[in-house]
Amino acid sequence: MSRPAWVEIDLAALQANYAAAKKAHGGRVFAVLKANAYGHGALACAQALATASPPADAFAVAFVEEALPLRAAGITQPILVLEGAFAADDVQLAAQHQLWLVTHQAQQLQLIEQHAGAALHIWLKVDSGMHRVGFAPHDIAAAHARLAALPQVEKVSFLTHLARADELDTPAPTEAQLHAFHTATANLAGWRSISNSAAILAWPQAHQDWGRAGIMLYGAAPCASSTALQPVMALKSRIFAQRWLEVGDSLGYGAAFTATQRTRVGLVAMGYADGYPRTTPNGTPVAIDGHLSRTIGRVSMDMMTVDLTDLPGVGLGAEVQLWGPQVDINTIAAANNTIAYELMCHVQRVPRVYR
C-alpha cells in the first residue's frame, strides 16, 4: 500500500457489539450484513461473528446475491433475505442454499406458489405503518393462509419495520406500529421479528423471537442509549505535505477557508472518492497522532486539509483519524446532515485492514 489511506476494521469490537445486542434483546438476533456489512466487508464480518462467543444466531442481507458468497465461504447459519425474491430464480436459489425469504407483496406470493423445489421458510412482512413495503394488516391473514397451504412452504414467520423507533421523544408512532403488528398477526403461528437496532436498545416491548441488529453492530448507536457500543471502523490516512498560510490567504476550492492568523496546513491523502464527505464544513474534528484538531478548506476528490497550527510536534507522516475510536462517526454525520450508515457504506476505494 503506497498511498497512505486505509480503513481499519476491529472485528473484536464487532463481536462485542453483537454480544451487546443479544444481551439487550434477550433472544435470538440477526446480524445484518447488507451493503457489504455497511462497508465493513460482509464475508470477514460474517466469519468473525460465526465464530464469536456467542456466535451469531443468523444473518440478514438485502437480496439473494448478497447471500451466495457467504454460503460459498462456508457460512452455515440461517440467512434472511430482506427484500425477498425479485424473480423465480431467486426463489430457486433460496431453496437451494436454504435462505429465508421475506415476502412483502402479491407478486412475491405468486413466485412462491409457482415454486416446485425444496421447502422454503417465508417471513411475511406486515406494513404496520412505515408504508414502504409489506402487506396491509387486514391482508395478513389471507396471505398467511395462502402460504400455509403450500407444500413447498415449511414455515411462515412474521416481521415488520419500525419507522421512528429512534425518536424516543415521539413514542406514539412506534406504539401504533406495535399495536398494528400484534393485531394483524394475532392467533397466527410463527416467529416474530420487530426490533431494529433502535428498538433493541430502547423498545423492550418490541422484543420478540428475533431482533435485527444493523447499525449498532458497527458501533454507531441509532438512538440515545446507555448501552456502550464500540466503533468498528476507523478511517485513517497520513499527512503527506504541509505549508503555511499567511493572514488573508484562502485555501482550496471555492476559497472555503481564509486564514485569520498564520496557519500551518497539513495535506491528507483522503477525499470524497474515498468516502469522506465533500460537504464537511470547516472545523469538523479530526485526530492527528492522537491530538484533536480540525478540518479546514473544502474536501477534494483525493485530498483534504487539516489545521496543524497548534500541533508543533506533528508533521509529515502523522496518522490522521477521520472517524473511529477518537472521532465519533456520528459527529461527522451530523456535520454533514446525514447518518453514520451513509458514511460507512461510501467507504469503498481504500483498502480494509482487519484486526
Is there a contact between 220 and 341 (Cβ–Cβ < 8 Å)? yes
Reply yes or no on whether 155 is catalytic: no
Any catalytic annotation for residue 253?
Answer: yes
Q: How far apart are CA 24 and CA 195, in angstroms?
A: 11
- From the list 18, 22, 155, 253, the catalytic residue is 253
Q: The cell 470477514 sits on which residue?
A: 44
- Of the chain, the end-to-end C-alpha distance in Å amounts to 17
Taking CA atoms, 133 is separated from 91, 126, 203, 323, in Å, by: 19, 8, 22, 33
**Separation CA 35–CA 29 (nearest Å):** 18
Cα gap 17→201, rounded to integer Å: 12
Q: Report whether 349 contacts 3 (CB < 8 A).
A: no
Which of 266, 276, 332 shows the shortest CA–CA distance to 305? 266
Among the options 34, 38, 236, 276, which is catalytic? 34
- What residues are labeled active site? 34, 253
